[in-house]
Amino acid sequence: MPRVQITVRRSIAALCLLALAAVARDGAADRELADYRYFRALSVDLLGRPPTAGELAALDKPDFDLNAWIDTHLAGPAYASRLASIYLDALRLEVGPSFQFVPNPLVLRRETVLGPDGAPIYVYFRRGQRRVDPATDGDFCLTHDETGLSFPPNAPSLGFPIAVSQEVLDAKTTLVKPWWLYGDYRAALPSDRISKDWSTRFPSFVPVPQLLVEPDGKTPTTAVRVCKEEAQTADTGNVYVSGRPAPKKGEPPPAGRLTQPPGDSGFAKATKGRAVSCLSGTGFQSSVQCGCGIGLERCMPASGPQFESAAFQLPTHTPLGLAFDASPQPASTWEKLWWSEEAKRFLLKIIVDDRDFREVLTSRATEVNGPLAQFYRFLAGATCCGPAADAGYAQPEGVVDPGAVPAALVPEDTATWLPIADRGPHAAGILTMPIFLVKYGSRRARAHVLYNAFLCKDFVADSVKLAPSDEPDLTKRAGCSACHQTLEPMAAFFTRVAESDWTWLPSQLFPASGCAKAPSSGLCKQVYDPAFHMLRGAYASPAHVEEGPPGLAKDIVDAPEFAPCVVENVAQSLLGRQLEPEDDAWKTQLVKTFVDGGYRMRTLVRAIVTSPRYRAGNDVRR
């Protein structure tokens, strides 16, 4: 440390000693301005607010033990929030409207038809739901003839409504007490209907008013009418093949429909009659027996026929974890909110509990509340399996084992958080949380952000000339290789995790090399890369494919840059400035402190906030 600064600091120390001596005489501490400024900075960084009058009064007392105060507050939620914000700023784990989570299996849309008495009634349905009747297969369960209305996709109905007969209603629809209205929806006779005390029991769970009342706007909804197929509760169904020939080009849809009924996929024809999971998108597309489950718990409500109709009053901003606003939002926003909360809570817990910080990347644990439990148990499989079904993949395997998810949590229970000790063998910290996997949808984007945030390194392609080339291997292609030599092998760790999704591609069905089906098949073109005859993303490192995200997590935390990067991020944030070359010795010392302390934040932060550099940030001379 430069001599001038040492001299100044010794002077300040001497003054402090004099002041303390004065205290011993008079019985009250004669604090200097630097002391108050330091205390205020500590309060801002460790308590998340300036000190209160009472806290300043305590500081004034001669027996005030600042070190003990620091140690006490290196454990609170505000300190954790302060540190978590460093990584949340780097990772930005929230997604906006540009990412839509509206798979047909999940979205319960709502149409309004006239009941037998001529009064409007709501009927819920899923677009794409399989039905035996070709007039309604894949569409709303009531026809134009029955309702007087046509139901275009994602648009309000058209036509002049006529009263639907009771006979038709009884044949095609049923009444259900759904999860968003009843806390005990799994009971034989649900009775715990949504009421005022739910704001205490289930804070943040606020369905929009349109979901709670009948079309008259007044009568409370006690049960919802839903198409019968959607009300089915079986976990599995049988693959259905309609046998309908593919429509000829220009052929109008049958039975007054606006769209053609679904055809029979190759998967369906190949597996006709076989059991298929109703928790998967493939099951939804292939079986007439797959519904929304008990209390419609596998589906999310909407207040209209569009896929993003309002469902819940939700905040768009939650700094401090509190709602600063609220507006009607679709159900997909509800899911995205809780994905984000899972990651934040995970990060906070590691810091509050002073756990090994490497667990941010390596831990298989997490905590879930009701909405997240619903997601992992019932909703996550809805995006599976697309062309992967051609490989016989119809039972989705996620990065979280649904069996590990607490079954007792009801979807509206936002307040109760229960731990999951082990999400499963594919889990790795935030790397396999839904919010991370959708925020950074591509394998390369996932690798890139981790490279930045946890190794403090960048892929910077300065002044490269990108010439046209047919070289598919980016680790070799001129102009690309400089970055992709590192990026591709890192991205390969995510080969088995679907892009913009969390579906896992198991090795038994999807060998890294070689596609089992015809090269022209969807499987071989979409899941496999025709250029390399390997799973997409695998070519740069087949070994990494099998290690998966846990392998990348291990590589990152074992890298020599990891600890210095953490130290740099935390120190820069607390000092409010970039570290300079003359901080190198101090940084090296902090790295040693951090590593020797078991990679725990508390030790590191304590070392920083008690350092002269931190104190000098508030020097009165400045």
Partner 1 sequence: MKRENYRQGASDAKTPAESGSGPILFFWRLGVPGALAVTLVFGCAAPAALAPSAPAPLPPPMVAAIDTTPKERRRMMPPEVYLRAYLGWFGGLAPLDVQAKARGKNMFDSWDDYLAALGLPDYKVDLPRQSQSNTLMIATLGRLGEALCVRAAEHDLHGKTPAAARVVFAFQPVAAPDDAQFAERFDVLHRLFLGYPVRLAPSDRAAHFFALYRAVAAQHAGKKGPLTPDETAWAAVCTALVQHPEAELY
Partner 2 sequence: MKRRTFLHVLGGSAAAVALRKPLWAAANSPAASDDFFIFIHAAGGWDVTLWSDPRNERRGLVEPASSENTDTAPLTHWKGTKLDGDVDTFEILAPRDVPMRFGPGIGALYDLRSRLTVVNGLAMATVSHPDGTAFSATGRHLQGGRAPASSVDVAIANELGTSQLLPDVAVQFPSSYVGDHLDRRAVPLRVANAATVAKSLARGEAYFDPSDRTAITALVTAEAHALAKRSTFPETYERIASQTGAVQQLLDDKLEAAFTQKALQERYPQFDYKAKNFGGAALGAAFTVEAMQRNLVRCVGFAIGGFDTHNQNYKQQAHTQQELFGVVATLVDLLDRTPHPTRQGKKLADHAHILVFSDFCRTPQINLSGGRDHYPNNSALVISPRFVAGRTFGKTDVEQVLPADAGVAFAGGARPLAPPDLLATFLHAFDIDPARYLRDGEVVQEMLA
Q: Which residues contribute to the site for partner 2 (CB under 8 A)?
A: 2-4, 90, 98, 441, 445, 448, 452-453, 456, 458, 460-469, 479, 500, 525-526, 620-622
Task: Name which position in 16, 19, 37, 233 contacts partner 1 (CB under 8 A).
Answer: 37
Residue 432 CB, shortest distance to partner 1, in Å, is: 19
The three-state secondary structure class of 224 is strand
Does residue 56 belong to the site contacting partner 1 (CB under 8 A)? yes
Site string for partner 1, 521-560 (x = CB under 8 A): ----------------------------------------
Sole binder of partner 1 in the list 29, 43, 172, 437 (CB under 8 A): 43
Q: Which helix (H) or strand (E) holds 338?
A: helix 331-352
Q: Which does 115 bind (CB under 5 to 8 A by kind): partner 1, partner 2, none?
A: none
CA dist 317 and 315 (Å) reads 5
Binding mask 329-368 for partner 1 (x = CB under 8 A): -----------x----------------------------
Instruction: Give the dihedral of Cα atoms 144, 148, 153, 156; nearest 10 deg.
Output: -170
Least distance (Å) between residue 97 CB and partner 2: 9
Cβ distance to partner 1 smaller for residue 98 or 191: 98
Mention every residue, 6+ apart, whose C-beta is less than 8 A from residue 34.
12, 615, 618, 619, 620
Closer CB to partner 2, 27 or 250, in the complex: 250
Q: Which of 9, 40, 73, 476 binds partner 1 (CB under 8 A)?
A: 40
Query: What is the β-pairing status of strands 310-314 and 327-330?
Result: antiparallel
At its nearest, how many Å lie between partner 1 and the CB of residue 561? 23
Interface residue with partner 1, options 16, 19, 23, 36 (CB under 8 A): 36
Give the span between the Cα atoms of 25 and 477, in whole angstroms: 77
Q: Which option in partner 2, partner 1, none does residue 199 bind, with CB closer than 5 to 8 A by kind?
A: none
Measured CA to CA, the distance from residue 181 to residue 443 in angstroms comes to 39
Stretch of residues binding partner 1 (CB under 8 A), selected from 47-55, 134-142, 208-216, 396-404:
47-55
Exposed / middle / buried, residue 178 (Cβ in 10 Å: 0-12, 13-18, 19+): buried
Q: Evaluate whether 340 touches 93 at the Cβ level (below 8 Å).
A: yes
Structure tokens at 220: 């409370």
Establish if 162 lies at the interface with partner 1 (CB under 8 A). Answer: no
Whether 256 contacts 203, CB under 8 Å: no
In angstroms, how far is the first alpha carbon of the chain from the final one? 19
Q: Which residues pair with 150 in a beta bridge?
A: 158
From partner 1, partner 2, none, interface partner of 458 (C-beta below 5 to 8 A by class): partner 2
Q: Residues of 256-290 as b/e, b for ≥16 C-beta within 10 angstroms?
A: ebeebbbebbebbeebeebbbbbbbbbbbbbbbbb
Runs of H (alpha helix) within 508-611: 522, 542-558, 562-575, 584-596, 601-609
Q: Is 488 left (phi over 0), alpha (psi -120 to 50) or beta?
A: alpha
| Binding segment toward partner 1, per CB under 8 A, in 75-83, 114-122, 188-196, 490-498 | 75-83
Contacted entry of partner 1, partner 2, none for residue 142, CB cut-off 5 to 8 Å set by kind: none
Q: Which of residues 263-322 bind partner 1 (CB under 8 A)?
A: 316-317, 319-320, 322
For 504, what's the count of Cα atoms within 13 Å in the CB-facing half-sphere?
A: 22
- Comparing CB distances to partner 1, the nearer of 264 and 583 is 583
Tokens of 300: 């999310």
With CB under 8 A as the contact rule, the residue among 10, 21, 22, 52 that binds partner 1 is 52
Name which of 308 and 397 has its Cβ closer to partner 2. Answer: 308
**Which partner, partner 1, partner 2, none, binds residue 49 by CB below 5 to 8 Å per kind?**
partner 1
In this structure, how many other beta carbons lie within 10 angstroms of the beta carbon of residue 8? Answer: 15
Q: Is the Cβ of residue 55 or residue 422 nearer to partner 1 in the bound state?
A: 55
Contact criterion met (CB below 8 Å) for 172 and 145: no
Residue 61 touching partner 1 (CB under 8 A): no
Rule CB under 8 A: say whether 575 interacts with partner 1: yes
The binder of 525, among partner 1, partner 2, none, by C-beta within 5 to 8 A per type, is partner 2
Q: Which does 253 bind (CB under 5 to 8 A by kind): partner 2, partner 1, none?
A: none
Q: Segment near partner 1 (CB under 8 A), from 68-76, 107-115, 571-579, 587-595?
A: 571-579
SS3 214: coil
Binding test (CB under 8 A) with partner 1, winner from 12, 29, 41, 556: 41
The tokens 């976990």 sit on which residue?
Answer: 235
x-marked contacts with partner 1 along 85-114 as a string, rule CB under 8 A: x--xx--xxxxxx-----------------
Which are the contacts of 180, defined by CB distance < 8 A and separation ≥ 6? 194, 207, 211, 301, 411, 412
In terms of CB distance, is 106 or 527 closer to partner 2? 527
In the complex, the smallest distance separating the C-beta of residue 20 from partner 2, rounded to whole angstroms, is 26
Helices (H), 48-160: 53-60, 66-73, 77-91, 144-147
Instruction: List contacts with partner 1 (CB under 8 A).
Output: 2, 4-5, 32-33, 36-37, 39-41, 43-44, 48-53, 56, 78, 81-82, 85, 88-89, 92-97, 316-317, 319-320, 322-326, 340, 575-577, 580, 582-583, 613, 616-619, 622
